[in-house]
Amino acid sequence: MASISVRNLTVRRGHNVVLSDFSVAIDAGRLTGLVGPSGGGKTTLIRSIVGVQRILSGEVMVLGEPAGSPSLRHRVGYVTQAPSVYGDLTVLENLEYFARVLGLDNSRIPFTIDSVDLNHRATARVASLSGGERSRCSLAIALLGQPPVLVLDEPTVGLDPVLRRDLWALFRRLADAGNTVLVSSHVMDEAERCDTLLLLRDGKLLANEEIPSLLTRTGTNNVEQAFLALIDGAAA
Amino acid sequence: MNRITSTAQRVLKQLRHDRRTMALLMIVPVFLMALVSWIFPQPVFDRIGLSMLGIFPFITMFLVTSIATLRERQSGTLERLLSMPMRKVDFIIGYQLAFAVLSLLQSLIAVGVAVWWLNLQFAGPKWMAIVVAMSVAQLGTALGLALSALAQTEFQAVQFLPAVIIPQLFLCGLFVPRDSLNHILQPISNLLPLSYAVDVLNGVSAQATLSSEVWWKFGVIWAFVVGCVVIGSLTLKRRSI
């Protein structure tokens, strides 16, 4: 069942039309990857789904409500590309603050810190953390309220392979539990861990399908080749 | 309410981790007061000293708020908060509350030093000097929040100080009494919030019991605060380009 549906979305940023008459449906209970070169509209699409992007026309529905409506603000977890955390607070203080903004008590904080593997850094100031640790802190905030829709913009940039594997395992568990998980990435081998792939380039959806079918259709062995085949096909 | 107080606590925690800023906020007004008292003979210091007590919190809170909210915009934390169940007015009042606490501390120290060490004389009640200083600090915070939407970089934000604050300093009655300004400047001066702050502090300086005119002008300061909070909540956008 589609928990996110985008219909005829047009977004302009400055003089640039980033998305034009764009439509897509994203299912709950699946791990959906949003891939494509930078500048292709991934972040704009994500921001439209979260409801922080000013749109020109079209409709974005999340869990049956217009994106950004007040009833969704508890139910959509959002991680921006640059970690949106307070550098001058500790990891714990960041989580305590956002928990109170979400109307939660502190009971889930230890579990959440554990799920992003930041136990040993909980009382460190975020500014003193490495880039990867900072983005995991940002991810932890999005996970706090156990939102049924999780929208993550490049959450694994700058992480080492072990952490990336662990985080993808976490995304997999969340999706298998029935949540909608949309993860953007420009690393193609990561994308292979998804159920469904959205290939976005220059604001156009080159593919929206399961990986085996994508590989069969393009006659390729991996996502990167499939992507290149689709781009060459589009250019021809 | 919970979101307001937790935002205020969070802002204060951020500042508490930043000891140098805290020290500057508390010590600089005292240092400037002392400097003014040494430059001028005592009668002049008595006349302008109290106005200075109102102007420092206005400037410092304006600057700190402008930079703090600009940082929230740039780091993405503001966008994140507004994608959560956070009302825009909760965010703003949270900041107002945090800086109310800070300006209470600041003006307690500044008034204490001015009265007991620099021997500043004024007829009105001491607590009123602190109340006015805090109100002016609220004005600085609200104005900083409202204007921060117009600044995209720190460089721009810092330029608001000469653009917005210094004209008010010239016209507020600190340098030239407001009723001797010419017929163009006087009406302008009547539109600027700092003018009312200085009028009120002049009242506290001269009157043992404050006249109704002083109280009315004190009300005008708060009308400006409310106005700036409203503008601030309008300029804070959930959706951006």
ipTM reported for the complex, 2 dp: 0.88
CA distance B107 to chain A (A): 25
**pLDDT-derived band of residue B118, with 50, 70 and 90 as boundaries?**
very high
Amino acid A77: pLDDT:
93
* Prediction pTM value: 0.89
Question: Residues B148, B140: contact at Cβ < 8 Å?
Answer: no
Cβ of residue A40 closer than 8 Å to a chain B Cβ: no
pLDDT tens column, A170-188: 999 999 999 999 999 888 8
Residue in A52, A87, A103 closest to B239 by CB: A52
Mutual angle of helices B126-148 and B212-235, in 10-degree steps? 20
Which residues from B are below 8 Å from A88, CB to CB?
Answer: 14, 17-18
Is the pLDDT assigned to residue A8 strictly greater than 80?
yes
pLDDT tens column, A31-65: 999 998 888 899 999 999 999 999 999 999 999 99
CA distance A166 to chain B (A): 25
**pLDDT-derived band of residue A236, with 50, 70 and 90 as boundaries?**
low
Q: Mean pLDDT over residues B103-126, rounded?
A: 91
Per domain, the residue ranges of chain B are 2-235
Q: Mean pLDDT over residues B43-65, rounded?
A: 89
pLDDT tens column, B133-162: 999 999 999 999 888 888 888 888 888 888
The residue in chain B having the minimum alpha-carbon distance to the alpha carbon of residue A92 is B10
Q: Mean pLDDT over residues B76-89, rounded?
A: 91
How far is residue A96's CA from residue A83's CA, in Å, rounded to a whole number? 17
Cβ of residue B16 closer than 8 Å to a chain A Cβ: no
Residue of B64, B77, B238 to mutate when probing chain A, most A C-beta within 10 A: B77
Token pair recorded at residue B187:
């009406």
**pLDDT-derived band of residue B177, with 50, 70 and 90 as boundaries?**
confident
Which residues from A are below 8 Å from B7, CB to CB?
Answer: 97, 101
Return the amino acid letter for B85.
Answer: P
**pLDDT-derived band of residue A158, with 50, 70 and 90 as boundaries?**
confident
Contacts of A60 (CB under 8 A, 6+ apart): A4, A5, A6, A7, A9, A48, A49, A51, A66, A67
Q: Mean pLDDT over residues B172-182, rounded?
A: 88
Return the amino acid letter for A100.
Answer: R
Q: Mean pLDDT over residues B202-226, rounded?
A: 93
Cβ of residue A43 closer than 8 Å to a chain B Cβ: no
pLDDT tens column, A91-136: 999 999 999 999 999 999 999 999 898 999 999 999 999 888 898 9
With H, G, I as helix, E, B as strand and everything else as coil, classify residue A208: strand
Neighbours of A13 (CB within 10 A): 16
Tell me the CA distances in angstroms from A150 to A3, A18, A158, A192, B231, one per residue in order: 11, 23, 20, 19, 33
Cβ of residue B7 closer than 8 Å to a chain A Cβ: yes
pLDDT tens column, A185-223: 888 888 889 999 999 988 889 889 999 999 999 889 888
Cβ of residue B238 closer than 8 Å to a chain A Cβ: yes
Cβ of residue A67 closer than 8 Å to a chain B Cβ: no
Residue of A88, A89, A102 to mutate when probing chain B, most B C-beta within 10 A: A88
Amino acid A235: pLDDT:
66
Question: Which of B109, B108, B118, B102 minimizes the C-alpha distance to B27?
Answer: B109
Q: Mean pLDDT over residues B25-42, rounded?
A: 91
CB contact under 8 A, A86 and B77: yes
Which residues from B are below 8 Å from A52, CB to CB?
Answer: 79, 82-83, 238-240
Amino acid B157: pLDDT:
85
Edge-to-edge, what's the strand order for the sheet holding A16-27?
Answer: A16-27, A2-13, A57-62, A65-66
Is the pLDDT assigned to residue A1 strictly greater than 80?
no
Cβ of residue B73 closer than 8 Å to a chain A Cβ: no
Contacts of B98 (CB under 8 A, 6+ apart): B7, B8, B9, B11, B12, B15
CB contact under 8 A, A102 and B84: yes
**pLDDT-derived band of residue B204, with 50, 70 and 90 as boundaries?**
very high
Mean pLDDT, all residues of chain B: 90
Q: Mean pLDDT over residues B189-195, rounded?
A: 93
Cβ of residue A82 closer than 8 Å to a chain B Cβ: yes
The residue in chain A having the minimum alpha-carbon distance to the alpha carbon of residue B75 is A84
Neighbours of A144 (CB within 10 A): 20
Token pair recorded at residue A37:
């070169």
With H, G, I as helix, E, B as strand and everything else as coil, classify residue A36: coil
Which residues from B are below 8 Å from A101, CB to CB?
Answer: 3, 6-7, 81, 84-86
CB-based burial, A187-220: b 16+ in 10 Å, e otherwise: ebebbebbbbbbbbbebebbbbeebeebbeebeb
pLDDT tens column, A9-34: 999 988 888 998 999 999 999 999 99
Which residues from B are below 8 Å from A89, CB to CB?
Answer: 10, 13-14, 17
Edge-to-edge, what's the strand order for the sheet holding A31-35?
Answer: A76-79, A149-153, A180-185, A31-35, A196-201, A204-210
CB contact under 8 A, B14 and A125: no
